[in-house]
Amino acid sequence: MGSESAADVFDTVNVVVMPILLLLLVGALWACRQVRNWNLKRRGKIPIEVREVRHAKEEEADLAHKLGIEFSKYLAEDSPKPHLTQPPGEAGVSGLAASTHTPPETVQGVFSRWMFHRAAQMPAHAVQLEIIPSDKPCALSTQVMEMPRRRVEAVNFFEGECWGDVVADAGSFCLQEIRRSPLNARHTPRWERWSADLQGYRSYRDALEEAGKGNNEAAIEKLVEAESRESSNVHLRLLRAQLIEGMEGRQGEAIPIYRLCSQVWRQNIEARYRGIAARVNARDKPQEILDEIKDMKYLLSRRSILWRWLKSHCPGRKHLGEAHYWLSWAMTWNRRNGDVIAPFQNKRRIFLRAVRVMELGAMMRNGDVADLEKMGRLLKGRPGWMARYNAACIYATEIDGKDSEVAKSYATKALDNLGRVLRDPRAEFATEWARVDPDLQPLKNSQEGEIWLKSYFGDPENKDHPVAF
């Protein structure tokens, strides 16, 4: 009797408890997947799946593989860099299929295979290219799908005389449609959005390519063409102003560009900061600069950022892209570029410290007696590379007209801060800008600065040196 009752209990466990445990396991996996998908959509980190390029003829296999590599390279060179993934079970651009070790065709094997594919199918944008016959030598069809629902978002056809131009057109179309999709548009502020005009984005990418080659004039022409098609995108104008500032003797031309960006989008902090810095370098009216710095300090205050973040959630004015923008200034985890800035540090504090240092420099140019010890206190801890660079410029401007010992001490402080800027891995500092910055000219003319620049950048008399001063 005892053995029979034990067997009945065991059968009851197998029949009732095991299915319940299996359902709980499936429910837990489903809940984890939903949380993962929600987190990806919340952070705006929707990956892009680049699939194998389809082809109808066997002799086109090598061409399809090369086109897949070039297409992925074009996507990866975008800014900010997208997250490219390889679809499960496909060769992708690497030519190697995913090692899934297909289980035997049993009930457990089929279930395991189904669970693998369902777990791998997270929210993504799948891009499918196909080589198709055409009257021209090169022709590609492009399809963008929202995964895992396989909803087709955009389809287009491109043909031309050169595969490079066709791949560039297809890549520009895919990136533009992905950025304009509902999954990503909700994380993009209004001043960074792109329209449906393909030529505008293609001109922007051509400008980046020309700038990478050092052809700033050609890049500026491409950006002007892109701005004519994307009039509300402030990123294009900021990039053009940056290229103009890097050209010797043309720093003043960037001021009207920054002023226009600030007038159209007063909420954009980067444009206003760079506009103030350009006016400081151009020796503009000091009192007006101080007034702008005062407005900038209020814009970077916690109260202002909190108010603008709340206003972006108000009914009728709700815009999640701008809400994410303002939240990125207060969070230590910068969601807009995926970078941890520093413990107990955020973008707001970095910019605010740089603005305060810049204010001291503007006060000195206005004839006020600035307390350099206050600047020393502002540079304690981790002030950020922008504050360090502003301090180096201020110390460099104080070299002229001082006796040898005082000038030497100012040059030492300027070089110390400039060296800290160059050692900062998060610094967006270009040595080409130091070559044309008028504030650093006294430092280059000093003996200490000349020795330091030779040891770090090479001989400044060598004009063939890429960063020669």
Identify the band that residue 280 occupies on the pLDDT scale cut at 50, 70 and 90: confident
Indicate whether 222 belongs to any domain.
no
Q: Please enumerate, as own/partner, the contacts of 207-214 that have beta carbons within 8 Å and a separation of 24 or more.
A: 207/239, 208/77, 208/79, 211/243
Q: What is the pTM of this model?
A: 0.76
Per-residue pLDDT, averaged over 18-25, amounts to 78
Q: Is the per-residue pLDDT at 127 higher than 60?
A: yes
Domain boundary among 185, 206, 225: 185
Per-residue pLDDT, averaged over 41-63, amounts to 74
390 with 426, same domain: the answer is yes
78 with 19, same domain: the answer is no
7 with 130, same domain: the answer is no
Q: Is the per-residue pLDDT at 100 higher than 60?
A: no
Average pLDDT, the chain: 76
Domain boundary among 152, 185, 218: 185
Q: Is the per-residue pLDDT at 109 higher than 60?
A: no
Per-residue pLDDT, averaged over 252-271, amounts to 86
Indicate whether 77 belongs to any domain.
yes
132 with 8, same domain: the answer is no
30 with 149, same domain: the answer is no
Q: Is the per-residue pLDDT at 56 higher than 70?
A: yes
Indicate whether 210 belongs to any domain.
no
Indicate whether 180 belongs to any domain.
yes
CATH number at residue 129: 3.40.50.10070
- The whole-number pLDDT of residue 33 equals 65
- The whole-number pLDDT of residue 459 equals 52
- The whole-number pLDDT of residue 467 equals 44
State pLDDT tens for residues 184-212.
777 778 888 888 788 888 888 888 888 88
316 with 428, same domain: the answer is yes
Indicate whether 274 belongs to any domain.
no
88 with 50, same domain: the answer is yes
310 with 408, same domain: the answer is yes
61 with 179, same domain: the answer is yes
Indicate whether 419 belongs to any domain.
yes
Per-residue pLDDT, averaged over 390-398, amounts to 86
Domain boundary among 131, 153, 185: 185
- The whole-number pLDDT of residue 63 equals 85
- The whole-number pLDDT of residue 89 equals 46
- The whole-number pLDDT of residue 343 equals 59
Per-residue pLDDT, averaged over 166-175, amounts to 87
The phi, psi pair for 142, rounded to 5°, reads -125, 135
Tell me which amino acid residue 129 is: L
159 with 28, same domain: the answer is no
State pLDDT tens for residues 66-99.
888 888 888 887 766 565 665 544 444 433 333 3
Identify the band that residue 368 occupies on the pLDDT scale cut at 50, 70 and 90: low
- The whole-number pLDDT of residue 332 equals 67
Cα separation, 205 vs 219, in Å, equals: 9
State the total domains in the chain: 3
Indicate whether 404 belongs to any domain.
yes
Per-residue pLDDT, averaged over 44-67, amounts to 78
Of 162 and 115, more confident: 162
Indicate whether 314 belongs to any domain.
yes
64 with 127, same domain: the answer is yes
Of 440 and 46, more confident: 440
- The whole-number pLDDT of residue 13 equals 60
Structural domain harbouring 27: 1-43
Cα separation, 382 vs 372, in Å, equals: 18
State pLDDT tens for residues 321-362.
888 888 888 876 544 444 555 556 788 888 999 999 988 888
State pLDDT tens for residues 208-235.
888 888 888 899 899 999 888 888 888 8
State pLDDT tens for residues 301-312.
999 999 998 988
37 with 123, same domain: the answer is no
- The whole-number pLDDT of residue 167 equals 86
